[in-house]
Amino acid sequence: MKNETLRMQAVQTPIIPVVGELIRNCPGTISLGQGVVYYGPPPSATERITEFFANPQNHKYQAVEGIPALQEAIKNKLLTENRIEIDDNRCIVVTAGGNMAFTNALLAITSPGDEIILISPYYFNHEMAIAMASCRAVLVPTDENYQLIPDAIEKAITEKTRAVVTISPNNPTGAVYPQEALQKVNEICRQHKIYHISDEAYEYFTYNGVQHYSPGANKESSEYTICLYSLSKAYGFASWRIGYMVIPEHLLMSVKKIQDTILICPPVISQYAALGALQAGVGYCKEKLSAIATVREKCLSELNLIQDLCTVPKADGAFYFLLKVRTQLDAMELVERLIREHKVAVIPGTTFGMEQGCYLRVAYGALKEETAIEGIGRLVRGLEKLGRRG
pLDDT on residue 221: 87
Distance CA 297, CA 370 (A): 13
pLDDT on residue 13: 81
Distance CA 78, CA 369 (A): 32
Q: C-alpha angle with apex 349: 326 to 376, nearest 5 degrees?
A: 70
Distance CA 290, CA 292 (A): 5
The answer to whether 114 and 106 have CB atoms below 8 angstroms apart is no
Distance CA 242, CA 66 (A): 10
Question: Please, which residues have CB within 8 angstroms of residue 288's CB and are 6 or more apart in sequence?
Answer: 37, 38, 39
pLDDT on residue 218: 92
Distance CA 136, CA 114 (A): 6
Question: Please, which residues have CB within 8 angstroms of residue 129's CB and are 6 or more apart in sequence?
Answer: 99, 102, 103, 106
CATH topology of domain 46-280: Aspartate Aminotransferase; domain 2 (3.40.640)
Domain boundaries, the chain: 6-40+283-389, 46-280
Distance CA 235, CA 274 (A): 9
pLDDT on residue 9: 81
For 121-154, b/e burial (b = at least 16 CB within 10 A) is: bbbbbbbbbbbebebbbbebebeeebbbebeebb
Sheet holding 115-120, edge to edge: 90-95, 243-248, 225-230, 195-199, 161-167, 115-120, 136-141
DSSP H or E segment with residue 93: strand 90-95
- What is the distance between the terminal CA atoms of the chain, rounded to a whole angstrom? 39
Which residue from 31, 20, 56, 57 is spatially nearest to 372, judged by alpha carbons?
31
Distance CA 187, CA 166 (A): 13
Whether this prediction's pTM lies above 0.85 is answered by: yes
* Secondary structure (3-state) at 58: helix
- For each of the chain's 390 residues, which pLDDT tens digit applies? 456 777 788 788 888 888 889 999 999 999 998 889 999 999 999 999 999 999 999 999 999 999 999 999 999 999 999 999 999 999 999 999 999 999 999 999 999 999 999 999 999 999 999 999 999 999 999 999 999 999 999 999 999 999 999 999 999 999 999 999 999 999 999 999 999 999 999 999 999 999 999 999 998 889 999 999 999 999 999 999 999 999 999 999 999 999 999 999 999 999 999 999 999 999 999 999 999 999 999 999 999 999 889 999 889 999 999 999 999 899 999 999 999 999 999 999 999 999 889 999 999 999 888 999 999 999 999 999 886 655
CATH code: domain 6-40+283-389 is: 3.90.1150.10
Distance CA 199, CA 227 (A): 6
DSSP H or E segment with residue 227: strand 225-230
pLDDT on residue 1: 42
